[in-house]
Amino acid sequence: METGSANPQSSLTNRLNLGWLGRMLSSSVGRKFVMGVTGLLLCGFLIGHLAGNLLLFGGPEAFDAYATWIHNQEFLPLIELGLLLLFLAHIYLAVVVTIENRAARSKRYAVKHSKQAGMPPLPPHNWMFVSGAIVLGFVLLHLADLRIGLRPDLAFPEWDEHHPRMYEMTVAVLSNPLSRVVYIIGTIFLGLHLSHGAASAFRSLGWDHPKYTPTIRLMSWLFAIVIGVGFCSLPILIPELAAVAPPEAKIVTPAEP
């Protein structure tokens, strides 16, 4: 090729014949496709995460056993890296698409009303970026709290390879009044984000069929409710349950070797 592209990246793209990918990822439809795919994969993560977290209701042994199991998995760093990439892609595209969408109408309407019947005043689909940003903030806090353990205000138990006292740590965080409120709000917004996002992702992926769409929509709604209510139940109920049966009472001091 005589074009003699100075840009090594573009010549690599040419050699690999990846122009189509660049075009797809720079188009509105392609971006929404990637957002849909990443969103649905993150939904998959949420299912696993919620299933694990619901073990909090089973008490310290059940939860800590689960925590130990998962922390001892060798592929955990890979999963975490994958999750991070999914989040970053989803967030990056959300920012780009939102900026472009805002730019598509610089002059706003003086008056604007929905023509959809029975639309609530602030439907979740109208502020996905806001709900997404709130969820992001919540996730960051959540990681700081429980992944990094960055809570100088709380007296976390010493970390022990063999006996991660995750239950104790979680209860400590959720019992903090401020954190409790933040976790409740965060999970509610997660549910709202999903209430539009889950069903919407299917359309962005082109999955719409008269036979299946009603079911997909219903399932997406149920999914959003289950995830939202499921996660929200933890900050609401766990501190109460833990207060009734203090965790210390259940901790069995490991026998000396």
The contact set with another protein (CB under 8 A) reads 19-20, 23-24, 26-33, 97, 100-101, 103-117, 123, 125-126, 128, 196, 199-200, 202-208, 210, 213
Give me the half-sphere count of Cα atoms (radius 13 Å) on the Cβ side of residue 33: 12
Please check whether residue 174 is in contact with residue 237, taking contact to mean a CB–CB distance below 8 angstroms.
no
What are residue 206's phi and psi, to 5 degrees? 80, 15
Of 111 and 244, the one with the shorter C-beta distance to another protein is 111
Nearer to another protein, 57 or 207 (CB): 207
Q: How far apart are CA 223 and CA 5, in angstroms?
A: 49
Q: How far is the CB of 59 from another protein (least distance, A)?
A: 42
Work out how close the CB of 186 gets to another protein at its nearest, in angstroms, rounded to a whole number: 22
CB contact set of 123 (below 8 Å; sequence gap of 6+): 114, 196
Cβ proximity to another protein, 111 vs 249, nearer residue: 111
Which CB sits closer to another protein, 6 or 110? 110
Identify the sign of the CA torsion 87, 163, 235, 52: positive
162 versus 211: smaller Cβ distance to another protein: 211
The residues near 93 (Cβ < 8 Å, ≥ 6 apart) are 31, 34, 35, 38
Give me the least distance between CB of 13 and another protein, in Å please: 12
Q: How far is the CB of 33 from another protein (least distance, A)?
A: 6
Least CB distance to another protein at residue 18 (A): 11
Shortest distance (Å) from residue 28 CB to another protein: 4
- Which CB atom, from 5 or from 27, has the smaller least distance to another protein? 27
